[in-house]
Structure 1
């Protein structure tokens, strides 16, 4: 089984347990979906669940229950290992959770941190969540 799947499909659906993210490929462009956890990265390091590469944007996806601090570390670790350009390349990092225990000010601080360190927009959303690119 390959860790990477290249497709022009309209919908990419990522789901684990009770967390679900749907990304709509508006222009049906060629996109690379990557199973990161246990495939692209299969050592004991922390890593996010999935990655999608399309339109010169790297999308990092972590599907979580409610441990947002751990989810943030998983995405940071994955960006450091898999990103083509850690500081400059365009990125969107999604944490989809069943419940968010963080305050809005904590979330804002993390969003600023991700923008500054990784040039990544950080989206922390409740499941199910849908977005488009």
Structure 2
């Protein structure tokens, strides 16, 4: 059951599959234990202007995954997730342990922007993952690899 957290951009969910989707791309976090997660709509809700990612999914006390559902522009996606992490309005919804999940339509085998972003994220203790079209994963796997 979804519950509003006093902010129309945030809901608490405990579904067995925590889904975020947009423009044919989706990320699905398996949640067999049905632990509560905060699902935060960033783009157009929490942040209306400037660079921003699409979603933040947070498992309280465990970590947060910043999700960008993208077409082909991976460089821009990397900029969006880093801007989201730094944005003051996102801070209340981010746990100390963080992961980034970018779901795109195409991911070339060699992309310097993603390689640079992975290095930059790693320096901040953040794991960055890129997948094509849809992601079906465990929440903790995105955080730890």
Tell me if both proteins adopt one fold, taking TM over 0.5 as the criterion: yes
Cα distance in 2 for partners of 1:25, 1:92 equals: 17
What is the CA deviation profile of residues 56-100 of structure 1, one whole-angstrom value per residue up to 9, with x for unaligned ones?
A: 20110000010000000000000001246x8x9211101000102
1:24 and 2:30 aligned: yes
Cα distance in 2 for partners of 1:23, 1:35 equals: 15
Asked if the contact 2:16/2:30 (under 8 Å) is kept, the reply is yes
Indicate the structure whose relative CO is greater, using CA pairs within 8 Å and at least 6 residues apart: 1
Deviation at 1:105, TM superposition (A): 6.0
Gaps of 5+ in 1: none
Using the size of structure 2 for normalisation, the TM-score is 0.80
SS of the equivalent of 1:103 reads: coil
Aligned residues: 130
Indicate which of 117, 120, 139 corresponds to 1:113. 120
Match of 1:50 in 2: 55
1:99 and 2:102 aligned: no
Q: 4+ residue stretches of structure 1 with deviation over 4 A?
A: none
1:62 and 2:68 aligned: yes
Cα distance in 2 for partners of 1:19, 1:57 equals: 23
Gaps of 5+ in 2: 1-6, 140-145
Deviation at 1:102, TM superposition (A): 6.2
Using the size of structure 1 for normalisation, the TM-score is 0.86
Cα distance in 2 for partners of 1:58, 1:83 equals: 11
